[in-house]
Amino acid sequence: MFLLTLGAFAAPFVDVSDPSLRPADPPAGVELPEVDSPDSFVVGGAPSAPGTWQSTVSVMYGSMPGCTGTLVAPNVVITAAHCVTPEAPTAVRTGSVNAVQGGQLIPVANATFHPSYDGYAGVDLAVLQLQTPSNSPITTIATDCVEAEAVYDGAPAAIVGFGSTNPQGTQYPDVLYEAMSSIRDADCSQDVLNGMQTTCEPALRPAGELAAGGNGIDSCYGDSGGPLYVQGDDAIWYLAGVTSRGFAAQNCGSGGVYVRPDTHLAWIEGIVGPLPRPGCGQPPTDQIDDGPPAPVPDPKPDNPQETGLLTITSTWMPVRKNRLGGLELTADGADGELVWTLEVDGQIGTAAIDGSMLFYTPPLHWAGEDLVVVSVTDATGHRAEAEIAVYVGAAGGCDQGGGAPAGFALVGLLALLGRARRD
C-alpha cells in the first residue's frame, strides 16, 4: 500500500489504491527476524493524543490509507515521491489521529513528484495540492534560523506517522503514532553508521537527506512521506524530514533516511508559491496546535527552607510543555563545595541532578504542577532539604525551562547534556 523500502532506494511505483497490496507478509525474498516485543509502535512509540500533530495527514488511495504527509500550507501537503502514481493519491485526511475517520477528507487536485526521482533513485519528495484548504494548523519547514538551531547530529526529533506498529511491517492500527528519537546524520554524509548501511544517496549530498532513528525507534511501512519534526529554540515544532526509506537492515527499527525539505524548498515553492518561514525571533502565525495551554504562574516569592546553617534558595522551576527543563540549584550559607541530591522524584515527571543542575522531564503533551525534593550538603557536613515546585506550561512562553523535547530522556540524560551542535 506504500513503498517505504528497506534497501538502497525507494521501490518503483505500484497501484497502491488496491487494498490487497497492504503487506501482510514481508517483501518477497526478505526474511525478517523475530522480535521480543511485537507490540512496539511507529516503531518504538505510542499513540498520539487527539488534537496533537494536527499537520500530520493520512494520504488516501480510494478508501484506503497508504502513506503519511505533512500540511505545510492550508492546501499543500508534502509527502514522498514513491507515494505518488498517475492515478493516486486521491485524497488526504487532515485533523484526525485516525487514518480512516474524523477530520476533513479533502480530494487531491494535483500531485507532483520531484523531477529527479525515477522510481528508484533521486529526490524522494512530492507535493500534493488540495482542492480545498484544510482547517487544520500547518507546520513550517525548518529553514533559516531553525535549521541552525535544531537540525544537527544528535538533535532531538519526533517521528510521526500512520504506519505499521511492528518491525516486520504487518500490523496497521490506522491510528497516528509518535516516537521521540534523534537525528544521527544531519547531512546524510555517512555510508555506514554503527556498522549499518544507511542507504544515503551520494548524489544528494550534502544535506539533501538526513538519517534519524534507530535502537528500536523508527518509521516503518505506511509512515512514508510523513514528518520528522524538530523543535526550534522558540519551542515550536518544524518539519525537518520527509520519511523515505529504511537503513539496509531488512526490518524497521534500525533507523531510516528522510528527505530534507529545506534543501528542496525552491522546487516546492516553484509549484505552490511562497510558504511560511520561521519567525526567527517572532513565532510564525501558523503552527502546530499542541492542545490548550496550561497557565504558568508568576514566580513565587522566595521561601527559603533551612536546616542548620544552609539555606536552599531555589524553590520553583518553570518548564515548557514538551521540553526538558533545567534549573541551577542555589543555596546560601554554604561552607565549601556543595553536593546536591535528589531525595524525592516527581510524581508525574522524572527528575535528575547533574552537579548543581536539576533537570525535569514531563510526560509528552502534559501540562500541570509537580513536586520534587532535593537536599544539599556542604563541606562541613551541614545539610538542607527543600521542596521544588515544578510548573509545566504551554510551549513558547518566556519561561526559564528549555532544552530538548520531553521524552528524549530515553536516550540518556548525560548524552543529551554532552551533545555537539552543528556549525
* Number of Cβ atoms within 10 Å of the Cβ of 61: 23
315 Ramachandran zone, left/alpha/beta (phi>0; psi -120 to 50): alpha
C-alpha cell at 155: 538533535
* Number of Cβ atoms within 10 Å of the Cβ of 250: 18
Name residue, grid cell 528522510.
258
Identify the active-site residue in 48, 55, 82, 234. 82
Q: Where are the beta strands (DSSP E) in 82-148?
A: 91-94, 104-113, 126-130
Is residue 388 a contact partner of residue 314, using CB atoms and an 8 Å limit?
yes
Angle CA(218)–CA(221)–CA(226) in degrees, nearest 5?
70
Three-class SS state of 240: strand
Annotated active-site residue 48? The verdict is no
Annotated active-site residue 82? The verdict is yes
Torsion of CA 392, 94, 134, 260, to 10 degrees: 80
Q: Sort 202 into a burial class: Cβ within 10 Å, 0-12 / 13-18 / 19+.
A: exposed
Distances (CA, A) of 120 to 8, 10, 48, 140: 9, 5, 32, 28
Is residue 320 a contact partner of residue 307, using CB atoms and an 8 Å limit?
no
Annotated active-site residue 37? The verdict is no
Identify the active-site residue in 17, 124, 234, 244. 124
Is residue 343 a contact partner of residue 337, using CB atoms and an 8 Å limit?
no
Is residue 141 a contact partner of residue 261, using CB atoms and an 8 Å limit?
yes
Is residue 68 a contact partner of residue 222, using CB atoms and an 8 Å limit?
yes
C-alpha cell at 125: 519528495
Identify the active-site residue in 17, 48, 96, 224. 224
Helix and strand numbers (H, E) in the chain are: 3, 25
Strand-pairing partners, residue 73, are: 76
Query: Of 138, 5, 11, 166, whose CA–CA distance to 69 is shortest?
Result: 138
**Active-site positions?**
82, 124, 224
